[in-house]
Structure 1
């Protein structure tokens, strides 16, 4: 009995128990993984090394383990992974697990380095692991190379800029190069992006090699799918390289069962990759090329399989009719269906139905959707036999004619019966008259019925529709939201007015009368600001509305529309800044009119929504948006200190100093009532913001020059004081000498 082998098996049994505990509760990963790392090093038994590498890869691939926990655990396994990869003669299974684990932890190490720019050692470790894996990518075993391909795909995805959904919450965004600051001391974005581009070319080179392993090609195609979905900047490059790939070129020599299987498998993987890319972006201009490539690839596969046949399959027409075939001379059995006796009254189903099966007769055709009926009718009409169709049409035509004749006969019999009952019992017998046909009897019956209709006119009373039921509070709220949503949809789809020749009415114009985008903006803005304030209504009416106890108040509806307006402006504030100014102008006017009513508590909507809108726009402003900020500050009706302070805080970013100073200078020149506030803000920038000092000094030199003089005097006084403080020391030193 081998004691070492028995001890190893017992250890693995215990480790499997720990794994089961971690699978049931992911919180135990943080306790189990640090305890397992010391016993799975290069000096341990090969079974323990395999188990450890597999468990590490499984831990970081677990979808139930949080990203923050993975980031913390990744720092603890870096040294162990580096030791396993650097050890000579490492086992293939151990190597595969280590590479898979490295692929999983690479994004988390990058996020850690972004948050901790002073931790250069951690980035050096992952860089060494990356270099080791890339060296093995060309000469390792096929299984290891497949894992290396997955690692390269993860590196390319991490080091390529992605989409930032919310810049205010970077922890929730996808890990990509877009999160790396430009001035990071360790991570240089340009170098990382260039490395990712080179690795992508290396990955795509697998598809262009003359002789390549089908397993590697399949692994490469599978890894490219996630890059196409998540990285739009490199999607077209990947698709272009895939379109230059031909699965038939993977095999050479005689056609065998293995070569057929290889071509079929790779062709299926390639088709799935391209079809999924078309589904993801149906408006991609490359989709026609992709569709042509898929059809061409399918034809190449069929031709490759057909080349092994002793005799190629006969070419048959696509419509199933070959003109060169001999005509069938045997008589066809085209016996028309029997015509049953026609009743005097029948439904449309009985008229056009020709089947005798009671189950089919009882089937409700109206249960089938109309689009489904339209979709299946055309193929059925194309496939039906023409002779059978003509027989069915003749049957329906016969039934229709017989039905008309039977109705005429019934009407004639009824008219004769009525005439016989109306005759007197006298002995007078008229001369012989030829009998009337069915048409004459029908005309006489119609005339009799028309005479019987002549009656005195009936006077109808006034008819009024009952009033509709009043809306509940929930229905009222939903209706208001739906109406506002439709108004925003109309406003988004309506282009601005292009009428340049019409004279402008100025202040005498009628608002919302041109049915363009500006009119809809006016309607929505006034719904939000004036509906709840009651500006256009009498004061008594406003007070009576406020007394109604209801959870769906006009204020709540107006605030809901204000929220929609806020989202509408912030989504594209550069193009919709005019909507924001019009909205805030109406808010200011509403507050002004409400202040004129006495005895009413007024909520300052203008100040609150101005700050909320400004806080939603400021994080996304860059140096190119100078005109947007100048227009906003120059055209809103009330410029208060809160707005100026919020704009002033943008100067903390050196790239936006010029934009802040220029907007404040514009307000100084064009808005005298707030000139002192803006100059105070410029002075504060000069005194407390080192990056804005030079730009602010130019403004103060014209508008408040004494600040610069005081600053220079204070600087000179400070220099003189320091010189006087140093003088006694010099005198004492000279005396001592």
Structure 2
């Protein structure tokens, strides 16, 4: 691990020093991060730190490098942000990783949008939209922390809240058009970070970005930000200042959507009308919070007045001037009292205070109905304490050992408490406890179901299917009720006898002995075949459902099956052939995407027959390797496209044996005018880099030329002659010789193969 961490750090340093290596290093670090669990925080921290510095801190100066590679981050961000580990096990995951992931998404959202304008990809946009909608749904909760209550959660998880606020502002700016009178830019004008990327750049014929829903969502998010600012609760200064700064940015870039709402908020805001948290006992902290928020409000009003933002609206300018004077005088009064003064900033008890006539209307009671500190319906850990604790975990009472109190006193306390408590509050507490219990039960049940499924899968592979059917049939027979039968009575007597056994009669010593499974019965040949086919089908079914995270594991199953066919069941040709047919059918479903498995399987077939078993040379044409190599080529070639050349070259170059019979299957693709290069390029590769196949390739070109002459295909003739002149010029005279009887160009087929099939 330490070596891998050092490598990542050195690679990051190299990328920042020389941006030419950035793309390669970025791809590698993303792959490493996706392959590791979130709980591996040391490695994930280094991976995320590199991306954070590249895209958020802009250590990669190039605008195009960051924009062009932004879409590569989507899968990694999805893993960090939308994950069950994040929801339940936040204490095992570095909180900063999630916060940085949100900040990365915020810094690259407009880049992703720009890339999808240029190169539409609906699948990637679906992932981005899913991630965006998920994060919007978490505003302004305590995500990724587990919730406590609505009041307290406003002041928790501030880091991620601020990151989410920046994301919302970036989405607003990107999904709303810039003002009509602004200097518009086309996509090709995007050269640095000062460029304004917005929905205005989207063409009308774009398949999914040209939609009114994005514009509507952008306007809705403006209300999301303002609704939090307009809430009756007092916001922490760090969050308040961030929201104000974001609103002012939007005020300048999207004034036609935000100016009126922003100005009305600034005029209406006064911290003394905001309720502090019901559970905040530090009065000094509350006073400082109010004064800092007021100071930000004053600075904002002063800037709007001094820089001429509202000069055109004289009545509005007058209102701002009056409000600023009032706020300055209020600040002076507070300074006179001093920050440590116990006197309330609102002067709510001073009826003669002319500076704040509206102070009498302050809300004395918190508008949010809060009964318990911890109202989360999710159990934070798998303990009874986490189910039943509703008070602040920092409260000394939460750690009190109640078992030290005699039970009779506990009973009296409970009875007295039940008689005093409000029934609605009691019901709410019971609902919370019940919800936590059900959440924990479902989690544990899901875990048990996974274990049971694994155990059942392992058991079925060793049990006889016929035995299972008979057992099920026996169970069904027992369920049938027959009033005239005495079996019911016997069963009831047996149950009663079991119930009547006391602890004294129970032999604990014998029951505690190690349990051993009975020896399985010997299966007959037909049963063995059925069981092996069942196992093979399960392996193939498992591989068909492979994902990115589990693809390595499924490749292992495929390797096991290929060796089972060539080595494990080679004494039973019927079973071995069934496995081979199953493998071939599996690869047929996506032969281009599963080319790695195809090559590995065919190499295993060749190795088993001609290296391990050392079969005779004459048997190679009848071997399973030749049969299935031919089938793979026959199935693959019709579906090859011009952009599949690399796949085809790799297949032909890594097959352990090739001869003229296999090469001849390339005739159809070489003769196709559209795909001929896809056929000739692998052939050229074999001629240049695989000497044992050289003569067979030349003979294939000769045969192909002959076929082209017969079909009067001049283009194909020219192509074949070009390769022959370059790599076998001495053969040209015989190829071009005339058949006197037919008068057409034919080939004098001389034997030019003569190669050793086993070493080819």
TM-score range, shorter chain: 0.3 to 0.5
TM-score by length of 1: 0.38
Higher relative contact order (CA 8 A, sep 6+): 2
TM-score by length of 2: 0.37
